[in-house]
């Protein structure tokens, strides 16, 4: 399919000397509202009502696209400069799986000539190497590599407790907490809080940080204990938890029929309780 670009840009590309700059737009999907407008040029480029700021070390690799359904191959390398792209944002995972669009423009007449898009899709997981970040760009054909449809399982197949398929209202199951003391041995994973609920009440739940260095970050709960309102997460947070940090915590679900009955949500159970499994086959 031919690219839909303006005649003036086509003429410019045919010239022996061009004045091109790459533009990269990244939009976080974690709810923080983070949007980045960056360019590989040595000057700011106004385009489409936004200003793309020059970013040190921003280099898109060669892009490979095929006519079949193979995933486009491209990566982005850049330097975290604490102005356009902050190290704290990368470490907090705010660029993981973000939406991205990369295009080239004539930086002397970007709005007049339009752009030449050559990559769009989502970032993969972003890696930090010193002061650099490296991210794979996953093209739109990445969606064709994913499993479509559902499989039969005994446990509920809902991917996220409380979503539209599950139907459970998480409002009454959500509480606000404040960190009292982080655990010295694991300050980014275990901490005591102001919660006073019974042991296990928030097991397999979700923490959404609203105050502190981990603001907007979400983390899965492994174990909750009534003693000191202690919360243990499955994975360490990007930043250490500090006294006074706060967030919301949601009750969890282990995807079992019993747990679904506890929430009076049997009609939305997405498991098949009477599947025989492999045991009868082995008898």
Query: Do 190 and 123 share a domain, yes or no?
Result: no
Query: Can you tell me the distance from the alpha carbon of 69 to that of 54, in angstroms, rounded to the nearest whole number?
Result: 34
- Number of domains the chain is built from: 2
H/E segment holding residue 11: helix 7-13
Both tokens of residue 221? 């709960």
Cα 49 to Cα 9, 98, 200, 216, distances in angstroms: 19, 21, 51, 27
pLDDT of residue 125: 74
Query: Do 117 and 240 share a domain, yes or no?
Result: no
Let me know: does 252 contact 260? Beta carbons within 8 Å. no
What is the torsional sign of CA 179, 236, 97, 142? negative
Task: Give the β-pairing of 50-54 and 35-39.
Answer: parallel
On whether the pTM is more than 0.75, the answer is no
Please indicate, yes or no, if residue 141 is contained in any of the structural domains. yes
Give, for all 283 residues of the chain, the pLDDT tens digit.
Answer: 446 789 999 999 999 999 998 898 989 887 778 888 988 888 899 999 999 988 765 666 555 555 554 445 677 777 776 556 777 777 777 788 888 888 999 999 999 999 998 878 888 778 777 777 788 887 665 555 556 667 788 899 988 899 999 999 999 999 999 999 999 988 889 999 999 999 999 999 999 999 998 888 889 999 999 999 999 999 988 889 999 999 999 999 999 999 999 999 999 999 998 887 776 666 6
Query: Do 46 and 96 share a domain, yes or no?
Result: yes
Closest Cα to residue 270, out of 144, 164, 146, 147?
164
Let me know: does 145 contact 71? Beta carbons within 8 Å. yes
Residue 260: strand, helix, or coil: helix
Please indicate, yes or no, if residue 235 is contained in any of the structural domains. yes
Let me know: does 210 contact 175? Beta carbons within 8 Å. no
Query: Do 125 and 36 share a domain, yes or no?
Result: yes
Residue holding tokens 């970013």? 55
Whichever domain contains 232, its CATH number is 2.40.10
pLDDT of residue 142: 58
**Main-chain phi, psi angles of 192, to 5 degrees:** -90, 150
pLDDT of residue 57: 57
Closest Cα to residue 64, out of 136, 143, 165?
136
Vertex 29: Cα angle to 219 and 116 (nearest 5): 150
Paired residues of 75 in beta bridges: 136
Query: Can you tell me the distance from the alpha carbon of 182 to that of 194, in angstroms, rounded to the nearest whole number?
Result: 12
pLDDT of residue 209: 93
Please indicate, yes or no, if residue 49 is contained in any of the structural domains. yes
Query: Do 16 and 137 share a domain, yes or no?
Result: yes
Let me know: does 153 contact 165? Beta carbons within 8 Å. no
Range of 80's domain? Answer: 7-145
Residue holding tokens 């983390």? 219
Please indicate, yes or no, if residue 39 is contained in any of the structural domains. yes
Query: Do 133 and 178 share a domain, yes or no?
Result: no
């Amino acid at each position: 399919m031919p690219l839909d670009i303006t005649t003036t840009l086509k003429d410019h590309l045919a010239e022996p000397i061009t004045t091109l700059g790459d533009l990269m737009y990244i939009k976080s999907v974690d709810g923080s509202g983070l949007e980045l407008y960056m360019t590989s040029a040595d000057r700011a480029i106004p385009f489409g009502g936004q200003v793309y700021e020059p970013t040190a070390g921003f280099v898109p690799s060669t892009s490979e696209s095929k006519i079949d359904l193979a995933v486009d191959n491209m990566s982005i390398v850049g330097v975290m400069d604490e102005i356009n792209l902050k190290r704290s944002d990368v470490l907090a995972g705010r660029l993981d799986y973000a939406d991205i669009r990369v295009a080239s423009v004539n930086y002397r007449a970007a709005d007049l000539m339009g752009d030449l898009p050559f990559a769009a899709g989502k970032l993969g997981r972003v890696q930090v190497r010193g002061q650099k970040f490296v991210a794979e760009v996953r093209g739109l054909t990445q969606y064709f590599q994913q499993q479509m449809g559902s499989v039969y399982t005994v446990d509920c197949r809902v991917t996220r407790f409380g979503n539209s398929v599950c139907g459970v209202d998480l409002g009454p199951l959500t509480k606000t907490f404040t960190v009292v003391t982080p655990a010295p041995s694991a300050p980014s994973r275990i901490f005591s809080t102001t919660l006073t609920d019974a042991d296990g009440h928030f097991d397999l739940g979700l923490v959404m940080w609203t105050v502190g260095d981990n603001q907007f970050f979400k983390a899965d709960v492994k174990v909750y204990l009534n003693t000191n309102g202690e919360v243990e997460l499955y994975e360490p947070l990007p930043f250490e938890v500090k006294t006074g940090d706060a967030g919301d915590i949601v009750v969890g679900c282990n995807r079992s029929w019993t747990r679904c009955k506890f929430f009076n949500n049997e009609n939305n159970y997405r498991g098949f309780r009477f599947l025989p499994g492999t045991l009868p086959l082995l008898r």
